[in-house]
Structure 1
Amino acid sequence: MILYINTTDNDNVQIALKSKREIIVEKKFKAKYRQAEKLLPAISKLLKINKINLKDLQKIKVENREGSFTSLRIGVVTANALGYALGVPVEGGTGKAKVVKSERGRQFNVVIPKYNYKPNITMKKSNK
């Protein structure tokens, strides 16, 4: 079973459960500026309604480009955290992920977001 996460739209979030060949169930919901508080409960509800346990997930796929900084980051961070916790691979929309090693030596892969613009969250504001 594959969990699909798409938070690239500022207004809507899309999640789905897929087998290797088909979409089993798909849900799209409004989450304007509230993706962080709505995403995990929506995933939990989707799994529960379809009688699927987190341990049944074999992969997590997340869209990792073409979105705003915050909405994109929420989806990618959620996918990476779930993948790490469950010990399942995480794959980006590009199909690529980076293999990293934890401090305890455990290898896992993470998806890196591809932003439309260079992040400027840590840049100094100019004094005019």
Structure 2
Amino acid sequence: MRVLATILLFISIFLQTFTSFVIQAEYLLNKSYIANNLCVNKDKPAMHCNGKCYLSKRLKEQEKQDQQAPTSKKERLEVIPFFLPKQFSFAVVSISTRQEYYVTDTPISSAFLCSIFHPPTF
């Protein structure tokens, strides 16, 4: 269900963003139908319009719709931080220069027969 909703949301955003490309693609796919049936200048074959008048009309309509659409006003959201008063307490930190080393008497054994590091050979 989430995948379907994601795909539908992606398609709707894509179509809204690239409407002029969608209109041009629709024109290219249906060029013969538009030239024969929807063209404004089909009575004047000498103009060789081939439906470009319909394409420009649709693009102008879409541009007009884009301009009429309410532009999203960038609202300034003011965030007022709310802090509860808290008493500050400072912990005393002691700086020690004494270092402690732990010495063990047990030898470190390895399951490897040889060391892993090998210097490069020339």
**Do the structures match in fold with TM over 0.5?**
no
Tell me the TM-score normalized by structure 2.
0.29
Tell me the TM-score normalized by structure 1.
0.28
Structure showing greater radius of gyration is 2
Identify the structure with the greater helix proportion: 2
Identify the structure with the greater strand proportion: 1
Higher relative contact order (CA closer than 8 Å, sequence separation 6+): 1
